[in-house]
Amino acid sequence: MTITNHLDIANLRKTYANGIHAIQDISLRLTNGMFGLLGPNGAGKSTLMKTIVGLQQPDSGSITFNGTDIIQDPSFIKRQLGFLPQDFGVYPKASALDLMQHIADLKGLPKTKERHEHIAALLEKTNLYEHRKRDVQSFSGGMRQRFGIAQALLGNPRIVIVDEPTAGLDPEERNRFNNVLAELGEDIIVILSTHLVEDVRNLCTNMAIIRQGKVLAYGNPSRFLDSLHGSVWRKVIPKSEKSHYEAQYNVISSYFNSGSIVIHILSETSPEQGFEMISPMLEDVYFTHLSSQN
């Protein structure tokens, strides 16, 4: 029988001692499936993740997981959690196998043959089985991230949170990692916190866009795309005219392509000659919301 898991975040606030409002009145409701939390650096994604997993306390608001207030009782979610932090280290002189065993102990998994096989399976799935006796400290960045997801999946987590998991990985490693995430299935909550739009596009059934501690948009990616249908236009322009077009149109994004600038604009009507209408992509949705906040 599939259990539907719920994570309800209501009016969450967190301000750091230096005055930075990391989270400003965030409310979200998550259920089973992959949820993408998209936002630029410094948006408050990691703060939100750390608050959910109990690494820090919010100033106000509530978070409940399957009906239990996890601010009052962080251990409730920790018993069912798999967490891959944005930036983590490992103990020196500890092999991958040793650390997996240790985390399994911390998660309360009894020392059984079943556990041993489960650890082996996770290491195999993440292509780390051959390196299981090596010090994790000697792993490359990609291997370390794979170790991170392996330990996050130990046991039977009902909620898995991965914070910027593919930042710094090469395309091959990113692909491999996303394949692992895709296998997680629809029976648990998976929160993917990232600034990479394509990861959300490829993996997530629900998403939110967050910036400066606030949720700018929240919902199904397809609905967002539909809302922009027929409104996104593209043109290649010389570098020197960029400011002219920014003054004249609602430029939502610009990027280089073979030395020239490609701009995407938002317009309900057809703009001047040279623009072509394109099917909106999730990046367009993302940049639209970011620029509307500006």
Q: By CB under 8 A, name the binding residues for other proteins.
A: 17, 50, 53-57, 59-60, 71-73, 75, 78-79, 81, 83, 85, 87-94, 98-99, 101-103, 105-112, 114-115, 117-118, 120-122, 124-125, 129-131, 133-135, 138, 148, 151, 153, 155-157, 180, 183-185, 187-188
Least spacing, CB of residue 213 vs other proteins, in Å: 17
Cβ proximity to other proteins: between 76 and 218 the closer is 76
Nearest-angstrom CA–CA distance, 237 and 113: 63
* Structural tokens at position 181: 């995430």
Least spacing, CB of residue 78 vs other proteins, in Å: 4
3-state secondary structure of 242: helix
* Structural tokens at position 198: 């394509």
Least spacing, CB of residue 107 vs other proteins, in Å: 5
Asked whether 271 and 287 are in contact (CB, 8 A), the reply is no
Cβ proximity to other proteins: between 22 and 122 the closer is 122
Residue with tokens 């994570």: 7
Q: Which residues are registered as beta bridge partners of 37? A: 193, 208
Cβ proximity to other proteins: between 27 and 57 the closer is 57
Helix (H) or strand (E) holding 243: helix 242-248
* Structural tokens at position 239: 């570098």
Least spacing, CB of residue 31 vs other proteins, in Å: 17
Cβ proximity to other proteins: between 57 and 222 the closer is 57
HSE toward the beta carbon, residue 158, CA cutoff 13 A? 15
Asked whether 37 and 207 are in contact (CB, 8 A), the reply is yes
Q: Which residues are registered as beta bridge partners of 255? A: 262
How remote is the C-alpha of 195 from its chain's centroid?
7
Cβ proximity to other proteins: between 61 and 271 the closer is 61
Nearest-angstrom CA–CA distance, 221 and 36: 9
Residue 199: Cβ within 10 Å count: 22
Cβ proximity to other proteins: between 98 and 283 the closer is 98
Cβ proximity to other proteins: between 129 and 218 the closer is 129
Closest CA to 4 of 154, 159, 153: 159
Least spacing, CB of residue 248 vs other proteins, in Å: 31
Cβ proximity to other proteins: between 127 and 202 the closer is 127
Least spacing, CB of residue 86 vs other proteins, in Å: 8
DSSP string, 144-188: HHHHHHHHHTSS--SEEEEESTTTT--HHHHHHHHHHHHTT-SSS
Least spacing, CB of residue 286 vs other proteins, in Å: 27
Least spacing, CB of residue 109 vs other proteins, in Å: 5
* Structural tokens at position 193: 């916190």
